Amino acid sequence: MSCFSCCLSEDKVNRRSLRKSIQEGRDARTIASSFASSFANLSFKSDGSRRRYIVGEISKYGKGSVTTEFFPFKELSAATQNFRPDCMVGEGGFGRVYKGHLESKNMDVAIKQLDRNGFQGNREFLVEVLMLSLLHHPNLVNLVGYCTDAEHRILVYEYMANGSLEDHLLDIGEKKPLDWKTRMQIAKGAAKGLEYLHDTADPPVIYRDFKASNILLDENFNPKLSDFGLAKLGPTGDKTHVTTRVMGTYGYCAPEYALTGQLTAKSDVYSFGVVLLELITGRRVIDKSRPSEEQNLVTWAQPYFRDKRKFHLMVDPLLENQYPKKGLHQALAVAAMCLQDEDETRPYINDVVSALEFLCDSDSKEGVMSAASSMAEGRSMAEGRQ
């Protein structure tokens, strides 16, 4: 038995044994083809049948175990005081997010009102409702419900008190900087969310939009992945990838995906490496305000990855040198491996989780060294599986 295997926790072994647990009689090809037709079908439904259609789709794949609720527009309007501007907590390419309070449940929620225009809004809406109705994990945001009254497309999530990782790392303003331990805990939790999508979900799910603004933080800074509108079902059977139109955010997309449209779970691993590098450096992946040689974070970091004596120059100055030297070396090693140009040389996300668990759970020299050894072993294992 390898030393990497010895280091795996019992919880890790149990999670791996659950990879098929959510299949519940569903066939991957059936789901994939149904998703494709559902996007078009939603656009042509009448107002009265749209709700029944979505409920039927969820019920069909959830086998009656889905708890996602339908909310009438009137209730969501009341929850946000008629979508008052001062209730808005975020805005993205697909719509605006408001903080609201549901009297019927006595709970605060985040209410995302999607842009009414275009096919892409419908696509995002249906993907997100179906994905988050079927997938449940502590590091995925919980979908409370949705609304399809008239022309409205609204999603209702659990409210995350600390907003997004971007708010506390890249748009910090007057907020207190995240300390090293919190940053690594966030990285570990986000990696676990990806691990669930890649290894437990059956068929696997490729997130495709992993970035700081899509990692939400609760009151204790526990991370949860949000915004599943671009998620894709991963390859099944003997297929090595899925081919799709290139979507996502510039700077976070893996190079092979950006060039060819061929998407794999390793594409998410690359995006994770970008966010981990942002956590370490406090820099945006693309920052036009910096000198030209520093505008692309990954390009700027490459020479530093090759010289341990310069690792300290990569650290976010807001940490004020409060970080473990060996922990920094390990975190940068994980980031560098995730950012390999060739997808075959990147680690699997479960290997990344293993390394980050050791990094976070042990402050001792032995624990940090074990993490480094584990990651090296994990890379060997990953290469052996190609």
Active site residues: 209
Tell me 225's DSSP state: E
State whether the Cα torsion 50-54-55-56 is positive or negative.
Answer: positive
Distances (CA, A) of 215 to 62, 179, 222, 370: 25, 17, 10, 28
Q: 274 near 251, Cβ under 8 Å?
A: yes
Question: What is the rounded distance in angstroms from the CA atom of residue 314 to the CA atom of residue 130?
Answer: 40
Distances (CA, A) of 4 to 184, 208, 339, 374: 20, 28, 22, 5
Q: 349 near 381, Cβ under 8 Å?
A: no
Please indicate if the annotation marks 20 as binding a ligand. Answer: no
Terminus-to-terminus CA distance in the chain, angstroms?
20
Beta bridge pairs of residue 145: 69, 156
Q: What is the DSSP string of 296-360?
A: BHHHHHHHHHT-GGGGGGGS-GGGTT-S-HHHHHHHHHHHHHHT-SSGGGSPPHHHHHHHHHHHH
Instruction: Count the helix, strand and coil residues of the chain and give each as a percent rounded to the nearest 5.
Output: 50, 15, 35
Phi-psi region of 24 (alpha: psi -120 to 50; beta: other; left: phi over 0): left
Contacts of 355 (CB under 8 A, 6+ apart): 330, 334, 371, 372, 374, 375, 378
Q: 374 near 358, Cβ under 8 Å?
A: yes
Q: 352 near 269, Cβ under 8 Å?
A: yes
Q: Give Cα 95 to chain centroid, integer Å.
A: 19
Q: What dihedral angle (degrees, nearest 10) is formed by the CA atoms of 366, 368, 372, 377?
A: 60
**Taking Cα atoms as reference points, which of 136, 131, 153, 155 lies closest to residue 144?**
155
Q: Which residues are annotated as a binding site for ATP?
A: 112
